[in-house]
């Protein structure tokens, strides 16, 4: 949902930034790498030490590189399969760092086993959501369905974590993580059903051949010996 409604807005806002970086000779791949390093550092250094608000602000600042690198690639004519592959792969690294950082905090100083388990569930299910789509595309099908796409999950967890960092009770983040885990599971099922529908339409099940007319059959239904 956020992908559809927010992409145009952020593209308009970040296009001047992308233009400046291109004039400075910065490549889209470099922006992708720096953004992933920034997200990972904020999540795996600040979150586990209990700096939830600071970590969220750092992650938010670097997560926009995911939009900037795409604008730069299109503006400079450098869009490529390699760039798309690198971007998608490092997106998974960043997502894992965010939820992994929360797992480390709530199994350590945060001392909340339930929230830690839910964060781990979001990490695992988020990876399956992405894999379900990638595998479908590898088989020549699509899986662009689901109630919890990557942007939705990321915005929800960052907003909740930032609010907890401002002083709201931890239960807010616990509830958000539980809803994200459930939404991710539903998305996995939706994508599996969508791929199944496409696969059956492309390759309908074959019926077994009928025996020749007039052939005698035994009691078990197999042709009798001559």
Active-site residues, by number, are 91
Q: Which residues are CB-neighbours of 100 under 8 A, at least 6 positions away?
A: 43, 44, 123
- Furthest C-alpha separation in the chain: 87
Please provide the DSSP assignment of 180-209 as one string.
HHHHHHHHHHHHHHHHHHHHHHHSPPPPPP
Q: How far apart are the first and last CA of the chain?
A: 67
Residue pair 188/132 in contact (Cβ under 8 Å)? The answer is: yes
Q: Please give the DSSP secondary-structure letter assigned to residue 177.
A: H
**List of long-range contacts for 24-27, beta carbons under 8 Å, 24+ apart:** 26/72, 27/72, 27/78
């Amino acid at each position: 949902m956020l992908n559809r409604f927010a992409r145009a807005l952020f593209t308009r806002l970040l296009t001047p930034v992308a233009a400046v970086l291109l004039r400075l000779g910065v490549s889209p791949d470099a922006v992708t790498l720096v953004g992933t390093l920034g997200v990972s550092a904020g999540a795996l250094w600040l979150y586990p030490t209990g700096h939830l608000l600071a970590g969220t602000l750092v992650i938010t600042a670097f997560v926009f590189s995911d939009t900037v690198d795409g604008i730069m690639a299109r503006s400079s004519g450098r869009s490529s399969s390699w760039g798309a592959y690198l971007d998608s792969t490092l997106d998974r690294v960043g997502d894992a760092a965010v939820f992994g950082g929360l797992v480390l905090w709530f199994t350590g100083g945060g001392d909340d086993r339930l929230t830690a388990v839910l964060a781990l569930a979001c990490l695992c299910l988020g990876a399956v959501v992405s894999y379900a789509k990638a595998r479908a595309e590898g088989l020549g099908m699509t899986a662009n369905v689901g109630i919890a796409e990557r942007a939705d999950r990321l915005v929800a967890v960052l907003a909740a974590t930032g609010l907890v960092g401002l002083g709201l009770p931890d239960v807010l983040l616990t509830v958000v993580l539980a809803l994200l885990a459930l939404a991710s599971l539903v998305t996995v099922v939706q994508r599996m059903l969508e791929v199944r529908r496409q696969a059956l339409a492309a390759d309908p099940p074959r019926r077994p051949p009928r025996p020749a007319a007039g052939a005698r059959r035994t009691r078990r239904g197999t042709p009798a010996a001559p």
